Amino acid sequence: MQKIETIHERISVLVNEYGDRKNTVFADLIGENEANIRGYRTKIIPKYPVLEKIVKSLDVSAEWLLTGNGPMKKEIDPTINQNGVGVPYFDVDFCGGFDMMLNDQTAVPTGYINFPQYNRADSWANISGHSMEPLISHGDIIALRKIENWQTFILYGEIYGIMTEEYRTVKRIRKSDNPDNLLLEPINKNYDSTEIPKAVITGVWQVLGCAKRLF
Q: Where are the domains of the chain?
A: 7-67, 80-211
Is there a common fold for 7-67 and 80-211?
A: no
Strands 141-146, 123-126: pairing kind: antiparallel
Q: The pTM is what?
A: 0.67
The CATH class given to the 7-67 domain equals mainly alpha
Q: Is the dihedral of CA 90, 95, 98, 100 positive or negative?
A: negative
Q: Convert 36-62 to b/e letters by CB count within 10 Å (16 or more is b).
A: ebebbbeebebeeebbeebbeebebbe
Dump pLDDT digits (tens) for 54-107.
Answer: 887 777 888 888 888 877 876 666 688 888 889 999 888 888 666 666 666 567
**CATH code at 80-211:** 2.10.109.10
Cβ-Cβ contacts under 8 Å for 148 (sequence gap 6 or more): none
pLDDT at 25 over 90: no
pLDDT at 144 over 90: yes
The β-bridge partners of 125 are 142
Q: What is the mean pLDDT of residues 180-197?
A: 91
